[in-house]
Amino acid sequence: MTETRYVPTYCYNCVAGPDPMKVRVDNGVACEVVPNFDMEEMHPGNGRVCVKALGLVQKTYNPYRITTPMKRTNPKKGRDQDPGFEPISWDEAFDVIAEKLEALRAKGLTDERGLPRLAATFGHGGTPSAYMGTLPAFLASWGPIDFSFGSGQGVKCVHSEHLYGEYWHRAFTVCSDTVNTRYIISFGFNPESSGGPSAARRHADARVRGAKRIQVEPHLSVTGGASAEWVPIKPKTDLAFMFALINVLLHQSPRESLDIPYLRDSTSSPYLVGPKGYYLRDPESGEPLVWDSEAGVAVPHNTPGVKPALEGCFTVAAAYELGPDKEKYPYENIDGNTAFTLMVQSMEAYTPEWAEQMCDVPAQTITRIAKEYLDNACVGETIEIEGETLPFRPVSVVLGKTVNNGWGAYHCVWARTVLATLVGALEVPGGTIGTTVRLNRPFGNRLASVQPGEDGFMVSAMNATDKENWESAPSGRNAHKALVPIVNSGAWSQALGPTQLAWMFLNDAPSDWMRSTFPDVWFLYRSNPAISFWDSKQMVSIMAKMPFIVAFAYTADESNHMADILLPDATDLESTQLIRAGGTKFVEQIWEHEGVILRQPAVDPQGETKDMTWIATQLAKRTGLLEKYYKALNRGAGGIPLKGEGFDYSLDPSVEHSVEEVWDAACKAATSDYSGGKEVKDLEWFKENGFYMVPYKRQDWYLYPTLKAKGLRFELPYQERLKRVGEELKRRLHEQGVHWWDEQLEEYEALPAWDDVQARYNKALEHMGGTEEQFPLWGVTTKSAQYSAGNNAGIQLMDDVANNVRGHGSVIINAQTAQKLGIGNGERVEVRSIIGFTRGRAELVQGIRPDTICIPGQFEYWKTPFAKDLDYPSLNTVIPMSLELTDSTGSGADLVRVSVHRLGGDS
């Protein structure tokens, strides 16, 4: 007789989660992951989890798991070294770690360079925090920690969208309002692979409803396959296409077809710009001026009842421009153009015919798509949402990873956001909307983060660039505060800085920059940067020099191969944590509910593996930080403040608490908070019920109503502040004699101009000693639903099912190109770049440009059990880490020039 029970819990393996699920446990053995139909009506993915979650049973019972703490016995580190890991007790492991950490504290938390002696690296998109229990409270109690050693942050995320999306419309991530939209232009956005059940369901419903999505990308992705049309664009020339779309809207369409009231009243379009490129300001108030079209005079933008002119050049009697370092440039009778007029002028040359030359998409295709976009925008129409009348603009433009990273990405995000404003489709029903904030507070409520700032815009804190406050001696190894003002200095900021610089500068920094130092101790959790970052060989060699690595280890892998101590944490189906869910957040998790959801052990932890909350508590105890740790937990470092208005479930900081006590307090605090004190649910209740949700208003999916209510404008199209900040940053760096960031500083343009990114790559290749003739093809990558951000290449089930997907584990090549190169389907090929090669089976297809090859996912494992035997290629192996190919935000793109040749023999 089988005794069966279903345990409610969640999957948050990628940022498209969390998604609810149940674990079927037969006779005490976890056997299946199934949907949680109790949440079918609430969850935008209908209570389902994606394929990755179904790998969690194998993840639990994988025979290759590390199930006891281990210590390294071979002091030599390197890929070719056997670490000689030997099992030890938890006591011994903590003794070794505590000794290291105490020694570190005794020396000082920062080293002679002022850099933190303790560093920590976590995996994908903040998802580790949904598994690390109370570890954040330990980190908070420690003091300065360097989070700048990335494992893909900045190069594998949607970096410019994170920074500029949040700056322009509180959109750390951006999506279409898919449930209302009619027309989506997607530049490589791939939600069918990386958007989880929520995005997949929303887009499927939209397709059946008749919504049309145009997929613009060099390789026909899964999302492209599920789109109405595929436009095979040259890699990294998306900007030309987008500029041409703007050109058609501004120069080939009646002006009244645009949303004039939106542009005039909700953007900076009418602000007058002076000869130096800064706003003309009112001498008395300092506010930017607009031209009052009725009174025929320049007035501050915030003059009550003013109807500003949208376009034109006007003579202003008295004004000044505010330049860098508070320099003022006063004028009398000075001509000022509106920001809109300057944009119209700047976009005039970017015709579809011009774009065709740049991006290899026929001019008539671009023109048709621009007109379809405009036709579907429904300018002037409204929709009622929960009794409120809002604009209805069912068109959207969304961007994928490589469009969003590296050179040209700032421009593309600008163009995408401007395309939305031109038809009034930014942050309104049907349009382009944001889902979450991570650089502005409060986290989790982007509407509340909208506060009045300067010049009629939202406040957006930036790292200082003035002489007194600029951080001339970086406090972190990627210098995010010094180099990237827009990334700010919050909890997420450092990991969103130039993470590859942290790695590169350990090896070799520019001569006019400080030498970097290795951290004394490096913590690694749910992350394998030796695989997930570029130039894997260099990464491994740098990691091998890390003096002391503590790795939370699931199985042996390519990164923890260099570790000194391995700590086996209880995994997804074995551990406890309460996290927030619902509202709006990453990718397309857009709910009509918000609340909390519990992860709980469906089965006992395997071997000696331990819950992360227990591990964090022991670390705090052994390092004498227990009191600070509990105080941090009480403040909310575990994700839920334990004390709030009308409730107090604070933990006594003077005594140790069990894992269950900690999360019981969190359950009670969260339910008290969400219910306004009406309901208090404890851990036992959550174990039975799984989640607690309250309604979340649909109106709150959109930022526009909040902006209107606060009388604010979107800071578009003109980037006066960025221009000023860029100039200040240039001065600061030059004052220090630093010139290696000069090219990046050129990105601080008030109105972005065409950036020939392919030419940058060709130039960089030349500087590295290669030629376009040697490497005639472009290498790109694509995500797959089975692996995206899952760190699950060691799960056999994923490979089993992924083998049904075209291109899995292969080098995808255009069939005609392959024929010319003498490559047959299934033959082994070598893909070579200026830094090395990767090898795999060729898959010949029609759905890729002849000048491009694509390698899906991230493979080429050499240590991870099961994965190491797959013999799949990886683009990461052949992409260089290059300062020259790093943009002003510190990001680079998944792109590389390659050659391909046949090795012979079937795979």
The DSSP result for 603-668, as a single string, is: SPPSTT-B-HHHHHHHHHHHTT-HHHHHHHHHHTTTSS-SEETTEE-PPPTTS---HHHHHHHHHH
Say if CB 821 and CB 850 are below 8 A apart.
Answer: no
Tell me: does residue 32 bind other proteins (CB under 8 A). yes
| Residue of 299, 801, 821, 870 interacting with other proteins (CB under 8 A) | 801
Tell me: does residue 897 bind other proteins (CB under 8 A). no
| Residue of 509, 544, 745, 797 interacting with other proteins (CB under 8 A) | 797
Provide, rounded to whole angstroms, the least separation between the CB of residue 790 and other proteins.
12
Which residue, among 186, 177, 201, 212, has the nearest Cα to 16 in the 3D structure?
A: 201
Provide, rounded to whole angstroms, the least separation between the CB of residue 741 and other proteins.
40
Region of 381-389, 418-426, 528-536, 794-802 interacting with other proteins (CB under 8 A): 794-802
- How far is it, in rounded angstroms, from Cα 359 to Cα 276? 32
Tell me: does residue 1 bind other proteins (CB under 8 A). no
Say if CB 725 and CB 733 are below 8 A apart.
Answer: no
40 or 679: CB nearest other proteins: 40
Tell me: does residue 763 bind other proteins (CB under 8 A). no
Structure tokens at 244: 């041409």
Structure tokens at 895: 């792109």
Say if CB 47 and CB 35 are below 8 A apart.
Answer: yes
Provide, rounded to whole angstroms, the least separation between the CB of residue 295 and other proteins.
54
Site for other proteins, residues 176 to 195, rule: CB under 8 A: 192-193
Provide, rounded to whole angstroms, the least separation between the CB of residue 852 and other proteins.
11
Site for other proteins, residues 517 to 556, rule: CB under 8 A: none
Say if CB 462 and CB 488 are below 8 A apart.
Answer: yes
| Residue of 96, 694, 768, 805 interacting with other proteins (CB under 8 A) | 805
For the chain, give the longest Cα–Cα distance.
92
Provide, rounded to whole angstroms, the least separation between the CB of residue 361 and other proteins.
10
30 or 185: CB nearest other proteins: 30
* CA dihedral of 540, 543, 544, 547, whole degrees rounded to 10: 180
| Residue of 75, 80, 106, 208 interacting with other proteins (CB under 8 A) | 208
Say if CB 147 and CB 173 are below 8 A apart.
Answer: no
Tell me: does residue 33 bind other proteins (CB under 8 A). yes
Q: Residue 93 is which amino acid?
A: A
Q: Residue 314 is which amino acid?
A: F
785 or 878: CB nearest other proteins: 785
Give the x-and-dash track for 654-693 against other proteins (CB under 8 A). Answer: ----------------------------------------
Strand, helix or coil for residue 382: strand
Tell me: does residue 15 bind other proteins (CB under 8 A). no
| Residue of 101, 845, 875, 885 interacting with other proteins (CB under 8 A) | 845
Would you put residue 595 in left (φ > 0), alpha (ψ -120 to 50) or beta?
left
Provide, rounded to whole angstroms, the least separation between the CB of residue 860 and other proteins.
21
Tell me: does residue 34 bind other proteins (CB under 8 A). yes
The DSSP result for 709-749, as a single string, is: HTT-BB--S--HHHHHHHHHHHHHHHHTT--TTHHHHTT--
DSSP letter for 312, please.
-
Tell me: does residue 30 bind other proteins (CB under 8 A). yes
Provide, rounded to whole angstroms, the least separation between the CB of residue 774 and other proteins.
25
Please count the other Cβ atoms lying within 10 Å of the Cβ belonging to residue 843: 22
Q: Residue 868 is which amino acid?
A: K
22 or 169: CB nearest other proteins: 22
Say if CB 779 and CB 877 are below 8 A apart.
Answer: no
Strand, helix or coil for residue 91: helix
- How far is it, in rounded angstroms, from Cα 201 to Cα 48? 10
CA distances from 434 to 39, 214, 349, 427 (A): 24, 20, 30, 7
Which residue, among 892, 894, 863, has the nearest Cα to 876 in the 3D structure?
A: 894
Tell me: does residue 175 bind other proteins (CB under 8 A). no
- How far is it, in rounded angstroms, from Cα 442 to Cα 450? 10
Provide, rounded to whole angstroms, the least separation between the CB of residue 375 and other proteins.
19
Which residue, among 806, 789, 873, 883, has the nearest Cα to 833 in the 3D structure?
A: 873
Provide, rounded to whole angstroms, the least separation between the CB of residue 227 and other proteins.
9
Q: Residue 36 is which amino acid?
A: N
40 or 386: CB nearest other proteins: 40
Size of residue set near other proteins by CB under 8 A? 65
Structure tokens at 7: 């345990």
Provide, rounded to whole angstroms, the least separation between the CB of residue 16 and other proteins.
11
In this structure, are strands 577-585 and 589-599 parallel, antiparallel, or unpaired?
A: antiparallel
Tell me: does residue 17 bind other proteins (CB under 8 A). no
Structure tokens at 304: 């009550």
31 or 544: CB nearest other proteins: 31
Provide, rounded to whole angstroms, the least separation between the CB of residue 67 and other proteins.
13
Site for other proteins, residues 224 to 253, rule: CB under 8 A: 224-226, 228, 230, 232
Say if CB 897 and CB 761 are below 8 A apart.
Answer: yes
Give the x-and-dash track for 813-842 against other proteins (CB under 8 A). Answer: -xxx--------------------------
Tell me: does residue 400 bind other proteins (CB under 8 A). no
45 or 429: CB nearest other proteins: 45
| Residue of 197, 352, 424, 456 interacting with other proteins (CB under 8 A) | 197
| Residue of 101, 135, 211, 220 interacting with other proteins (CB under 8 A) | 220
Tell me: does residue 867 bind other proteins (CB under 8 A). no
Q: Which helix or strand (DSSP H or E) is residue 763 part of?
A: helix 757-767
Tell me: does residue 31 bind other proteins (CB under 8 A). yes
Site for other proteins, residues 35 to 64, rule: CB under 8 A: 35, 37, 45-46, 48-51, 54-55, 57-58, 61-64
Say if CB 858 and CB 905 are below 8 A apart.
Answer: no
Provide, rounded to whole angstroms, the least separation between the CB of residue 777 and other proteins.
15
Q: Which residue ranges make up the site for other proteins (CB under 8 A)?
A: 26-27, 29-35, 37, 45-46, 48-51, 54-55, 57-58, 61-64, 192-193, 196-197, 200-201, 203-205, 207-208, 220, 222-226, 228, 230, 232, 785-786, 796-797, 800-802, 804-806, 814-816, 845-850, 865-866
